[in-house]
Amino acid sequence: MSEETSKAANERSSVILRRTLPALMLAFLIWACVAAFFAVDVTEYGVVMRFGRVVRIVDEAGLHVKAPFDRVTRLDRRLLFSRPAGSEYLTTDKKNIVVESLAVWRIADPQRFLATLATRAAAEEHLSDIVSAQIGSVVGRQPATALISIDPAQGRYESVVSEINGSVAGFARTAYGVDIVNVDFRHLSLPDLNREHVFDRMKAERGRIAKQNRSAGELGARKIIAEADHEKTRIEAEATAEAERLRAEGDAEASRTYAAAFGEDPKFYKFLRTLRAYDKFLDDKTTLFLPAETDVLGMLRFEAKPAAEEAPRPGVTRDGIAASPEGSGGFSSGADLLLQKKGGDGLR
């Protein structure tokens, strides 16, 4: 009875095995097919590892094949940034400077990177130590003016940064398989203890430079003003000389014209000049006191009639001082003449 039971159990087990074995093999094949393929992004490396050993490194983006039991470790191949903590350094001239730096790097050798650092956090920690050490080594051999100076001749900022870059890049590539793209200073400052003193000294230096610039500016302004005054005097002298020459030529030409006119008809010329003189000084705002014998008043004289023939007219005195407004006008000889022309009142 027991033998029959055991045979039946064996037969059932073999039947179950024959039925499940194909399913298990199919599942294994599906798993092997799925596990054999992996994709690599353009921003990463694919490191294929087999039992802890690097088999190959895939740096091309796309779908790739591996053994089902291999493991793929992905590493970032983009530019990465590391910001070491700010540190205080002592320069050769005994000045303390606080430096905050920035390191830009990328993974160049994934195999060495995995063997030495393995993770980005570990890489940033080690790189911060290296950068801080190199900055202290280089800055410690330089004066403070090499990094902070207003005089371009004293500043050596570019050479200092270049030296730090070379030192850090050479060590990081060899030790960790990391390429250092750039190391630069994010911030340079002074310790709080001596910052006020340094600022006061910088203000004094700026004040001295400003004073020098103002003095130079004032000197240049005085020089320009002196040159302008000299040029102004020269131009005025030349203009005055030219005006005097033209005036002399005009007076000479006028004299020649007057002489020619006087030679043509002296009486008419004298008459015309007298009329022009009257037009100049006879107005409603001018009062002239002239002797009656003055030549310019010749056209205004008249011969007084005897008293028996003509009574004195209104406005004419017996001594012949004033002229009648109704007649042709005139003045008695030997008396001072008062001429005043007002609006429409004529001569009085």
For residue range 65-109, list pLDDT tens digits in order.
787 778 888 888 888 888 888 888 888 887 788 888 888 999 888
Q: Give the domain-ending residue among 18, 42, 76.
A: 76
Q: Using an 8 Å Cβ cutoff, are 83 and 186 in contact?
A: yes
Q: Using an 8 Å Cβ cutoff, are 143 and 94 in contact?
A: no
- Is pLDDT of 301 > 70? no
pLDDT score for 231: 92
For residue range 141-157, list pLDDT tens digits in order.
888 878 877 777 777 88
Would 295 be classed as within a structural domain? yes
Q: Using an 8 Å Cβ cutoff, are 19 and 49 in contact?
A: no
Q: Residue 41 has what DSSP assignment?
A: -
Same domain, 25 and 107: no
| Total of domains in the chain | 3
pLDDT score for 300: 65
Q: Give the domain-ending residue among 161, 189, 217.
A: 189
Query: In sequence order, what DSSP letters do the residues of 149-172 get, joined into one string?
Result: -S-TTT--HHHHHHHHHHHHHHHH
pLDDT score for 8: 66
Would 212 be classed as within a structural domain? no
Same domain, 85 and 134: yes
- Is pLDDT of 162 > 80? yes
pLDDT score for 344: 38
pLDDT score for 227: 92
Would 227 be classed as within a structural domain? no
Phi-psi region of 45 (alpha: psi -120 to 50; beta: other; left: phi over 0): beta
Distance CA 255, CA 271 (A): 17
Q: Give the domain-ending residue among 189, 209, 237.
A: 189
Looking up tokens 């020098």, which residue turns up? 212
* Angle, helix 120-139 to helix 157-176, in steps of 10 degrees: 140
* Higher pLDDT pick, 321 / 37: 37
For residue range 170-219, list pLDDT tens digits in order.
888 888 889 898 888 888 887 777 667 767 777 888 899 999 999 999 99
Range of the domain at 35: 2-76
Q: For the residues 276-286, what does the mean pLDDT come to?
A: 74
Same domain, 172 and 107: yes
Would 248 be classed as within a structural domain? no
pLDDT score for 336: 39
Looking up tokens 């290296």, which residue turns up? 130
Would 197 be classed as within a structural domain? no
- Is pLDDT of 312 > 70? no
